[in-house]
Amino acid sequence: MIQRKTQNPEYWGDEFTITPNDLQYLSTLLIEDELPRSAEELGRALVLQRIQEEEALVQRALSKGSLYQPKCTFQMGEQVVFPALDYRVGQVIGLRPGHNPEYGDFQVIQVQFETGRNREFASDFSADHPLNADVQTSISEGQALKPSEELEAEYSPQVGQLLAKRLESEPDFVRLAGEWFRRDLLVEVNTGHLNLAEAVLDMQGGGPLPTQELLGDLELPEEITPQLRTFSLNYALQEDERFDEVGPAGEVLWFLRSMEPESVQSIPLHLRYTPLDYDPALLTSEMISLEQELDDEWSDLAPPDQVSEPVTIVLTYPHWKSGTLPLSSRLSGVFPTGRTQRIRFTLVDGETKTQIPAWVVREGRYVYGLGEWYRSNDTPVGAYLELKRGEKPGTVIIQRSSQRPRREWIRIALPIDGRLTFEMRKQLIPCKYDELMIVAGEDSQAIEQVWMRTKRERLSLKQLISEIFPELAKLSPQGTVHAATLYSALNIAIRTPPGPMLVELVSSGTYSPVGDNYWVLRLGGV
């Protein structure tokens, strides 16, 4: 049977490699239509090309001689095609009788190939053999082969992945927004064009603007396809440090880097986490459940399989201070994703419908843009916030869990010489909150000194726990401190996820668990 290699899954697996001829073919394809293409689109084209090349090879070979099947009889000087040997053609240069006790008499032909190598094959062999099956030899004659469209759909994704890796090492190809093109075929975008693009963005407050709105002022050659003009400008902007691509997945938007908020260009001070060494194996199942509930962005948590919206989180001090939200395991699916480290999108106040310009900063694991919203809504540390994706792409709806403002007994941070102390006082609270994590401060400058002292004196997590735990314990008649409360308070002084804190409580020998994630000082403790 004539079995095309392209019909074999193994051919598209470990056997498949990208050759220089493949790259030349793809270059020609890009030149002909002047359309940048994704790796998967190029992969589809390459799959079809390989199928067509093989079919052409089969037809050329079959036109040169007789198809080899063991049951056939061949003559001296006859040209024979061997499908099992990649359709090599050889000439019969010898005949001799053969015999096998199991199969009886047959003929043996000696064949010389174009390489000069001679091999022998059975002929006039009537016993059962796979190569003796009667088959059609051409797709046009009805051979039972998978259609090329089916092979394209089945193998183009894996070919596209392999192709993307290869193209990354090819200096002649460039990629932008998931599409590839030849570098030497890009439209020239000069310094004047880029300066004009900068001026347009500057007049728009830095951006964001799609590439199409910048193209209208640049007057790139009209004879070039719009897709190639867009790709060429995108590439030129990407290579210029003045411009930042900030679009969510599926959208290219540009912003002037110099006009991005400072807290987008660099991680805010109170969000900077220096990873702490600790042994997660010391965490009990109860502690792990608490860590998952707190959902700190620096906890090593796998994203849940499903997250129902709206997602409710508790606002912590570092994010309240920085005007940010955590890009945590549960929240990461709510916010837009993209190719770059910074993504510009819009937050919408669920109550007033006010639109808030915001940024996803993937490297720092936070979302920036809520400072004024926190202040104008008197949102305290410990407030419940609800977030869900908006109906319009690139928007996220945020709102507090509202209630009528009322006076509540809550923790008040009262720093003394850079050390945290606490009291319970009544405060007017305008929203629902987590009783374990709420904390307010009456002197923002004094609270800031707590953070500065930690940095100045290089206080360790252990030292800060030993200072803060007794102060929180004084607020409880039983002297108990919930781990969530300690986590909330500690983050006024140092940025830490709950994991290192919980391990420190377990391993220090100073604190004892009393159930439900409550802890007390051991007798003789600090």
Tell me the pLDDT tens digit for each residue of 155-206: 888 888 888 889 888 888 988 878 889 888 888 889 999 999 999 999 999 9
Rounded to an integer, what distance in angstroms lies between the CA atom of residue 296 and that of residue 273? 11
Tens of pLDDT, residue by residue over 257-271, are 999 999 999 999 999
132 φ/ψ angles, rounded to the nearest 5 degrees: -90, -5
pLDDT category of residue 3 using cuts at 50, 70 and 90: low
If you average pLDDT over residues 251-255, what whole number do you get?
91
Q: What domains can be seen in the chain, in order of their start residue?
A: 1-181 (no CATH), 186-260 (1.10.10), 405-521 (no CATH)
pLDDT category of residue 154 using cuts at 50, 70 and 90: confident
- In this predicted structure, the answer to whether residue 149 has a pLDDT above a threshold of 90 is no
pLDDT category of residue 281 using cuts at 50, 70 and 90: very high
Tell whether omega for the bond before 208 is within 30 degrees of 0, i.e. cis.
yes
Q: What is the DSSP string of 45-79?
A: HHHHHHHHHHHHHHHHHHTTSEEP-TTS---TT-E
Q: Where do we find the tokens 């007789």?
A: 66
Q: What is the pTM of this model?
A: 0.75
pLDDT category of residue 12 using cuts at 50, 70 and 90: confident
- In this predicted structure, the answer to whether residue 403 has a pLDDT above a threshold of 70 is yes
Q: What is the DSSP letter of 435?
A: T
Q: Compute how many other C-beta atoms are within 10 angstroms of the C-beta atom of residue 379.
A: 20
Beta carbons within 8 Å of 493's beta carbon, 6+ residues apart: 420, 450, 451, 453, 454, 459, 464, 468
Q: Where are the beta strands (DSSP E) in 282-354?
A: 311-314, 324-326, 342-349
Rounded to an integer, what distance in angstroms lies between the CA atom of residue 268 and that of residue 324? 9
The half-sphere exposure of 177 on its side-chain side, counting CA atoms within 13 A, is: 26
Beta carbons within 8 Å of 50's beta carbon, 6+ residues apart: 6
Rounded to an integer, what distance in angstroms lies between the CA atom of residue 152 and that of residue 332? 34
Q: What is the mean pLDDT of the chain?
A: 88
Among the listed ranges 211-215, 362-366, 369-373, which one has the minimum average pLDDT value?
A: 211-215
State what percent of residues in the chain have pLDDT above 70.
96
If you average pLDDT over residues 116-129, what whole number do you get?
84
Q: Which H or E element spans position 261? A: none
380 φ/ψ angles, rounded to the nearest 5 degrees: -85, 160
If you average pLDDT over residues 334-353, what whole number do you get?
91
Per-residue confidence (pLDDT) for residue 136, from 0 to 100: 44
If you average pLDDT over residues 344-348, what whole number do you get?
95
Per-residue confidence (pLDDT) for residue 139, from 0 to 100: 39
- In this predicted structure, the answer to whether residue 388 has a pLDDT above a threshold of 60 is yes
Tens of pLDDT, residue by residue over 213-232, are 888 878 788 778 888 888 88
**Which one has a higher pLDDT value, 503 or 78?**
503
